[in-house]
């Protein structure tokens, strides 16, 4: 498990190709149930973190673009459903 885990851990945040995804899933399927459950939890956790980071980066770009177009922090907050504090944080 160590080599599979290390391989996964080192590449977790990097987008995997379809072939890498199939190979990883195949390795996980060959593991004992207890190991498989732990690895699947890690995979899901890393994928969720990557999605959250992507959403935040996308929102940051959107907020910055809106500000460059002359929108006020208050208007940006209203349009994006963010608080004014969150908008200001994303503009830093």
CA 83 to the chain's CA centroid: 22
| Number of residues assigned to the chain | 92
40, two tokens: 């699947």
Of residues 29, 39, 31, 34, the one with CA closest to residue 6: 39
Phi and psi at 4, nearest 5°, equal -65, -45
User: CA-CA distance, 74 to 91, in Å (whole number)?
Assistant: 13
Per-position DSSP letters for 11-28, written without gaps between them: HSSSPPPHHHHHHHHHHH
User: CA-CA distance, 22 to 17, in Å (whole number)?
Assistant: 9
* pLDDT tens-digit profile, the chain (92 residues): 444 444 444 444 456 678 887 887 787 777 777 787 888 888 889 889 988 999 999 999 999 999 999 999 999 999 999 999 999 999 99
- pLDDT given at position 41: 87
């Amino acid at each position: 498990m160590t080599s599979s885990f290390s391989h996964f851990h080192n590449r977790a945040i990097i987008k995997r190709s379809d072939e890498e995804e199939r190979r990883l899933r195949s390795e996980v399927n060959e593991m004992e149930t207890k190991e498989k459950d732990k690895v699947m939890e890690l995979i899901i956790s890393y994928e969720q973190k990557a999605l959250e980071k992507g959403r935040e980066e996308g929102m940051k770009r959107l907020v910055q673009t809106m500000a460059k177009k002359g929108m006020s922090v208050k208007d940006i907050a209203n349009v994006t459903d963010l608080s004014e504090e969150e908008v200001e944080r994303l503009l830093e």
